[in-house]
Amino acid sequence: MTYPLELREKTYFNDPSYPINIFHNFMNAPYHGAPALYMHWHDHFEIIWMARGQAIFHIDSQPYETAPGDILMVPPGALHVGYSACTGSLDYDAIVFNASLFRHQSSDPMHSLFIAPYVEGILRFPIKISHDDWANALIRTLLKEIIDEFATKQQGYELIVRSQMYILLTRLSRHFMPRQQLAATTQSQARNVERFKQLLRYIDDHYAEPISVSKAAAIVNLNPYHFCKMFKKTTGSTLVEYINLIRIQAAERLLRESDHTITAIAEQVGLGNPNYFTKLFKRCRGISPSQWRKQSIHMSLEDKVE
């Protein structure tokens, strides 16, 4: 469903390459029905965790009554609004994040199995996870750790928050993914993963060389059409996207461990055009290769000082 552009929220992220933010919302509700969240939608996921008070959130026109401990999973693109259902204080946290937070895992076959169906919108988590659901306590523990880590912002908090969010989504997937689908998908996935191991190893060793779809398909004895479909289903990305991800990872090592120029590194990883390399790197990491190198050097110096 498409909603009016004027209701689209431009969510603020401190770092575009790290698309997550956490908002703490507190209000003393003067009356039952007082606005608790203005009507809006965005392209990101949102997790609302009620800490105090009662509220009613309307998500894609469906009302959800919430009490302390309840968790709401707002899918991307969903129109949502909230109203107080009490006359006392109202307290809740909203974790807003984009699926690109986990782009580094997109080439992992297990990501394709457990996470990709949700972040790509093929499957949806239930909107409301009640405080009396047995899975709620485990999820709440993870949410508290994520919120505390994000608030204190100690060194390396980005890695911890991303890892905990990934664990959270995996726990949710394990709990809610239909078991029949999981069983059938797991068997098919296992066969595909085994079939593509040889190709993935080949790409790891030859990423700097041109690798066509025809050549990759021949390695796994498939025709190009079926190869493209199976590769996407198995890895969560196209062949070009996967090879470029491996190239970017190799480029990061060279940026961190060598003093080679950007042009030389682009050539070494198989992306000879430095302008295209910079554009691709920025699309994958959110910053240019030179900026990434500066940040890497700065972090290394900080580690040495400590």
Q: Which CATH class is domain 5-176?
A: mainly beta
**Which residue type is seen at 160?**
I
> How far from the centroid of its chain's Cα atoms is residue 34's Cα?
33
Query: Domain residue spans in the chain?
Result: 5-176, 197-298
- Please give the sequence-ordered ranges of beta strands (E in DSSP) within the chain, or none if there are none: 20-28, 35-40, 45-52, 55-59, 62-66, 71-74, 80-84, 89-97, 128-129
CB 243 within 8 Å of CB 202: no
Residue with tokens 């394990």: 174
Flag residues of the chain having pLDDT under 50. 180, 302-306
CA distance 204 to 165: 28
pLDDT in tens, 149-172: 999 999 889 999 999 999 999 999
Residue 132 parent element (H or E):
none
CA distance 112 to 77: 22
Both tokens assigned to 68? 């302390």
Terminal Cα distance for the chain, rounded = 51
- pTM of the entire structure? 0.62
Q: Which residues 6+ apart lie within 8 Å of 78 measured at CB? A: 41, 59, 60
Burial-class residue 210 by CB neighbours within 10 Å (0-12, 13-18, 19+): exposed
Both tokens assigned to 88? 């006392």
Nearest to 153 by CA among 296, 305, 289, 18: 18
Q: Which CATH class is domain 197-298?
A: mainly alpha
Both tokens assigned to 110? 């297990």
